[in-house]
Amino acid sequence: MRQILYILIGAFVIVPTLLLSYQVGTPKYMAASAYFNTPAIDLNTNKKTAPPIAVKITPQRNIEIPEIEADTTSMLIWDFKENFIYYSKNAEEPRPIASLTKLITAALVLDYADPLETTSISAKAIKNEGDSGNLKEGEILTIKDLLAAALLESSNDAAYALAEHVGGKLQTNPEVSAAPVREFVRMMNLKFNDLGLLHSNFTDPAGLEDINSFSTANDFSKFIKYLRENPKYILIWDILKMQNYSTKSLNAVAIHNFKSTNPFLNEYTNVIGGKTGFTNRALGNMVLVTTSSNNTEIIYLVLGSNDRFSQIRKAVKWVEEAWSWPNNIQP
Query: What CATH architecture does domain 60-324 belong to?
Result: 3-Layer(aba) Sandwich (3.40)
Q: Say how far apart CA 217 and CA 255 lie, in whole Å.
A: 37
Which letter does DSSP use for residue 51 in this model? P
- Note the pLDDT tens digit of each residue in 258-299: 999 999 999 999 999 999 999 999 999 999 999 998 889 999
Residue 49 backbone phi and psi in degrees, to 5: -75, 125
Q: Say how far apart CA 205 and CA 202 lie, in whole Å.
A: 8
DSSP string of 237-272?
HHHHT-SEEEEE-TTSS-EEEEE---GGGTT-SSEE
Contacts of 181 (CB under 8 A, 6+ apart): 160, 163, 164, 167, 204, 205
Query: Cα dist. 166→6, 60, 207, 275 in Å?
Result: 110, 47, 17, 22
Q: Say how far apart CA 48 and CA 99 lie, in whole Å.
A: 55
Which letter does DSSP use for residue 156 in this model? H
Q: 93 pLDDT band (50/70/90 cuts)?
A: very high
Q: What is the mean pLDDT of the chain?
A: 87
Q: Say how far apart CA 89 and CA 216 lie, in whole Å.
A: 11
Q: Say how far apart CA 323 and CA 211 lie, in whole Å.
A: 38
Q: What is the mean pLDDT of residues 181-186?
A: 96
Task: Please give the distance of CA 310 from its chain centroid, rounded to a whole number.
Answer: 25
- The pLDDT of residue 17: 52
Residue 246 has pLDDT above 60, yes or no: yes
- Note the pLDDT tens digit of each residue in 4-61: 555 555 555 554 554 444 444 444 444 444 444 555 445 555 556 667 666 677 899 9
Q: What is the mean pLDDT of residues 64-68?
A: 95
- Note the pLDDT tens digit of each residue in 199-230: 999 999 999 998 999 999 999 999 999 999 99
Q: Say how far apart CA 159 and CA 102 lie, in whole Å.
A: 7
- Note the pLDDT tens digit of each residue in 123-177: 999 988 876 788 999 999 999 999 999 999 999 999 999 999 999 999 876 665 4
Of 98, 78, 105, the C-alpha closest to 239 is 105
